[in-house]
């Protein structure tokens, strides 16, 4: 799979249920290879492997993923902590079988780079800040998608 990284989580650790007293590490990212298709990728493993893999690329890099495990996603649980994707699947990286390679600047496809700036939600599924301000009471308690731009940053 070749795509541009459009999102990435921090490395986290969890107690290992199989080896009491030790921890497993994980991080995830989302790649996109067309305007309509993107998929979440998760990796679990030893701290050294996960940290090295996480530090090997960043958002905006084009990557090649070799030998991922393709799994059906559990929509309710998966999408609680990850971006909602149009795919019924997720990719799982294994330390022993999978490889992630960052493509050099010269090999990057400009079509892939242009995907970095496309919204991942349906354009009809957004509220503007003005709509939220005007209709705040009726929207109370609802989960909303917001499309906004940063105009300035200051202290």
**86 or 12, which is more confident:** 12
Q: How far apart are CA 60 and CA 5, in angstroms?
A: 5
Residue 29 pLDDT more than 90?
A: yes
Name all contacts of 104-107 with Cβ < 8 Å and 24+ positions apart: 107/62
Query: Is the Cβ–Cβ distance between 61 and 102 less than 8 Å?
Result: yes
| Interior angle at CA 85, CA 84 and CA 87, nearest 5 | 140
| Interior angle at CA 55, CA 50 and CA 57, nearest 5 | 115
Domains of the chain and any CATH numbers: 2-115 (2.40.50.140)
Range with the poorest average pLDDT among 18-22, 28-32, 117-121: 117-121
**142 or 13, which is more confident:** 13
Residue 138 pLDDT more than 70?
A: yes
pLDDT at 125: 77
Residue 148 pLDDT more than 80?
A: no
Q: How far apart are CA 79 and CA 100, in angstroms?
A: 23
Instruction: Quote the pTM value.
Output: 0.77
pLDDT at 68: 95
Which parts of 1-155 are beta strand (E)?
2-8, 12-15, 23-32, 38-45, 62-66, 69-72, 89-93, 99-102
81-100 pLDDT, tens per residue? 677 788 889 999 988 899 99
Other beta carbons within 10 angstroms of residue 93's beta carbon come to: 25
**77 or 65, which is more confident:** 65
Residue 49 pLDDT more than 90?
A: yes
Query: Is the Cβ–Cβ distance between 30 and 59 less than 8 Å?
Result: no
């Amino acid at each position: 799979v070749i795509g541009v990284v459009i999102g990435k989580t921090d490395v986290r650790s969890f107690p290992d249920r199989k080896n009491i007293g030790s921890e497993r590490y994980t991080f995830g990212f989302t790649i996109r290879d067309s305007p309509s298709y993107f998929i979440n990728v998760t990796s679990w493993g030893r701290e050294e492997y996960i940290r090295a893999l996480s530090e090997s690329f960043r958002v905006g890099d084009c990557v090649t993923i070799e030998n991922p495990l393709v799994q059906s996603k559990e929509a309710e649980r998966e999408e609680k902590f990850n971006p909602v994707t149009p795919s019924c699947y997720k990719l799982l990286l294994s330390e022993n079988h999978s490889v992630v390679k960052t493509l050099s600047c010269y090999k990057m496809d400009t079509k892939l780079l242009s995907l970095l700036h496309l919204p991942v939600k349906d354009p009809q599924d957004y509220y503007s800040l003005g709509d939220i301000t005007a209709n705040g009471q009726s929207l109370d308690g609802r989960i909303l998608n917001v499309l906004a731009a940063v105009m300035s940053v200051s202290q």
